[in-house]
Structure 1
Amino acid sequence: MATAVEGSPDNVQADAGTLPTVMGKVRRPDPLRIEVARTLKSFIIGGNLPFGTHPVETELAQSLGVSRLPVREALQLLAQDGWVDLRKGFGAFVHTPSAKEVDEVFSVRTVLEAEAARQAAVVIAEGRADKQEIVRLKDVFEEGVKEMEVGHKAAIGDKNSELHFAIVDLTGNSVLGSMVSLIEERVRWYFGAIALRRAPASWEEHAQVIDAILAGDSSRAHDLMAQHCERSRIGLLDMSMSGFAKDD
């Protein structure tokens, strides 16, 4: 006798005591190498493994509580995406971005984020803004000021990223958000090199951008954000020229 299986797609019929023929698959946990790679990438982005660092497999394995194999596999995955460089006979080294890489990422960032600031101001001017998004933008700004005063480098980078995303979210433009997300990890990674040095000026610039957005001044918001991103780009290029990166 066939019985209806409650909650199954299209009320699939199945024999009593048997599983329905159509079921959702149980999601398998990510392989250990993926989890290790994700953890190591967060260390790299957060500055715990700076440019040029040589992460030793045995030390990483011991620190993470895993064997060397998933660590080795994770480093190979990270090398494929440009986070580390594998040197035959020496092992893995955290990638040091070239001036060209920095320039490419931050040039694209300037275009995207300036447009985000412009669109956010338009949303405000037209009265379409989500009040919760406005509150979030202000809150993240204040949280960033506090982290800057403490001098917590990683937290400054996190709040910088959150603030820029809060502006993007205010636009309601999901396509723009997706495009910004594509480069955000690299932006956070590179910005970490100048986070403490740039923080005071950066937060003053953030305040000016936010004021322009909340005033609904789209042209000014666009120009101020473009200038803000450009100053970070120039700061990173200056640092790369003086040592942290070589333009291959």
Structure 2
Amino acid sequence: MVVASTRKLVTANFQEQVADGLRQMIISGELGPGDALSEVNLAETFGISRTPVREALKQLQIEGLVEIRSRVGTFVAAPSRREINELFEMKQLLEGAAARLMAARGNIPELEAMRSNVADADAAVLAGDTARYAELVREFHEILIVGADNGKLATHYRILMNQLAYGRLVKTSLAQPGRSLDSEREHHRVLDLIIAKDGAGAEQLMRHHVQASHHAVMAGLNAAGPAR
């Protein structure tokens, strides 16, 4: 019994390691939509048996990150245009709510972190460093979610961001002419409203900001190829 329980625990730990590793590779864009995922190759890469790899892929399928096709194979999920639209609609709601909640909390540590983030982002935009600005965009939104101090909101938000593979879509958005400058101006205005404790204003503007990013992403995707 003890041996069997230990084996299950070890398998579960390996499964978690594989799931975490693949999740980050998908979110970052290292693995792109439609890329094939071989159980054999992944087992060799992680130095483990195929069982925890198989369970990790099932877990990522539940999260919407991979697609398992019977008798065909396993692939990184490629969200349709409709799915991306729906996910961005939810992103508007969650980030808008987060801005309102953060504004109600007053002078919290996340407020100073957001000020610092916006200052660093100003420098990145001025220098034309889109890669650095993309990192700071993701950080700004993460600070917002943490600053809302709502665990349920944060959990749903992170699942949503994983399904969007948001790191990749940020780059698509910022590739649109003038989007980096507009995005940073929007961040400034959101910060100002949070500082002023204007929850309603912060929520409305944050939703507008997400909508603008959504439009930029779709423009980039439509330019890249036909919709699914």
Shorter-chain TM band: 0.7 to 0.9
Partner deviation per Cα, 1:125-178 (whole Å, 9 max, x = no partner): xxx322x2221122233445566654437x825x43332232233344445444
Unaligned 5+ runs, structure 1: 1-27
Residue number among 101, 104, 111 corresponding to 2:93 in the alignment: 111
Residue number among 28, 35, 50 corresponding to 2:32 in the alignment: 50
Cα–Cα, structure 1 residues 79 and 216, in superposed 2: closer, same or farther, change >3 Å?
A: closer
Residue number among 228, 231, 243 corresponding to 2:209 in the alignment: 228
1:156 and 2:137 equivalent?
no
Q: TM-score if structure 2 supplies the norm length?
A: 0.74
| Residue 228 of structure 1: how far off its partner (Å) | 0.5
Cα–Cα, structure 1 residues 61 and 200, in superposed 2: closer, same or farther, change >3 Å?
A: farther
Greater alpha carbon shift after TM alignment, 203-212 vs 134-143: 134-143
Match of 2:169 in 1: 193
| Residue 107 of structure 1: how far off its partner (Å) | 0.7
Cα–Cα, structure 1 residues 181 and 68, in superposed 2: closer, same or farther, change >3 Å?
A: closer
> How many residues matched?
212
Task: Report percent identity of matched pairs.
Answer: 28
Match of 1:204 in 2: 185
Q: TM-score if structure 1 supplies the norm length?
A: 0.69
- Amino acid in structure 2 at the alignment position of 1:221: A
Is the 2:194–2:202 contact (alpha carbons within 8 Å) kept by the matching residues of 1? Answer: yes
More helix as a share of residues: 2
Cα–Cα, structure 1 residues 146 and 87, in superposed 2: closer, same or farther, change >3 Å?
A: farther
Match of 2:117 in 1: 140
Cα distance in 2, alignment partners of residues 63 and 172 from structure 1? 38
- Amino acid in structure 2 at the alignment position of 1:78: L
**CA-atom RMSD, angstroms?**
3.1
Cα distance in 1, alignment partners of residues 225 and 26 from structure 2? 15
Q: Partner of 1:97: helix, strand, or coil?
A: coil
Unaligned 5+ runs, structure 2: 1-8
Greater alpha carbon shift after TM alignment, 208-217 vs 222-231: 208-217
Cα distance in 1, alignment partners of residues 94 and 36 from structure 2? 34
Greater alpha carbon shift after TM alignment, 31-40 vs 141-150: 141-150
| Residue 110 of structure 1: how far off its partner (Å) | 0.8
Match of 2:197 in 1: 216
